[in-house]
Amino acid sequence: MTIGIHELLMPTSASANPLIPAVADIVWSAVVFAILLVFFWLKVLPNFKKNIDARTEAIEGRLAQAEKAQAEAAAKTANIEAEQAEARAEAAQIRESARAEGAAILAELKEQASLEAARMTETAKKQIEAERQSAIISLRAEVDLASSVVAQNLKEDKNASSIVSGFLADLEKDSKKN
């Protein structure tokens, strides 16, 4: 009971192999397969390809929008950085002008203070000089009074007269020097 390959491939009517389908089944299966293949090739595959292409196009569009948005964000960032640099430069300029203005005001105040000090010094000198002159006049009046008293007491004494005259001459020399 050995079965050869030939018998397997060419079944006899009496002994049919259950693993190999009948020729009619193979033909009808091939026809159905061809019909399904054509249907899928002509109807399903183009729709599937269309969906894939639409998805690809949508993804590429979103990528382009994202790149555009990224470029706009970079441009806005560059603008903001430029505006910040401009604002910093303006702030530095304002600080420098404020420093210069402060230095000018300080110099002006120092000059006004020195002028005021010089004026006050001059006023004080004039007041001191006026008081000195007043003291000299008062002293002369007292010396004249004293000399007249001494002269009356020492009318005959020539020595006393020369002492008073010398003293008055010294006072006059001191007043002329100052």
Residue 2 belongs to a domain: no
Cα maximum dimension of the chain? 201
Q: Is residue 86 part of a domain?
A: yes
Count helices and strands in the chain by DSSP H and E runs: 4, 0
Task: Report helix angle 45-153 to 158-177, nearest 10.
Answer: 170
Please check whether residue 162 lies inside any domain of the structure. Answer: yes
In a domain? residue 163: yes
Domain count, the chain: 1
Per-residue pLDDT at 2? 52
> What's residue 145's pLDDT?
76
Domain assignment present for 135? yes
* Distance (Å) of CA 106 to CA 78, 100, 103, 113, 166: 42, 10, 5, 10, 56
With respect to residue 95, please indicate whether it lies within any of the assigned structural domains. Answer: yes
Q: Write down the pLDDT at residue 118.
A: 93
Residue 19 has pLDDT above 80, yes or no: yes
- The predicted model gives 127-141 an average pLDDT of 88
What pTM was estimated for this model as a whole?
0.39
Residue 87 maps to a domain: yes
Backbone angles phi, psi at 104, to 5 degrees: -65, -45
For 143, the domain range is: 21-177
Within 8 A by CB and 6+ apart from 133, the residues are 175
Residue 8 placed within a domain:
no
- Encode pLDDT of 45-75 as tens digits: 999 999 999 999 999 999 999 999 999 999 9
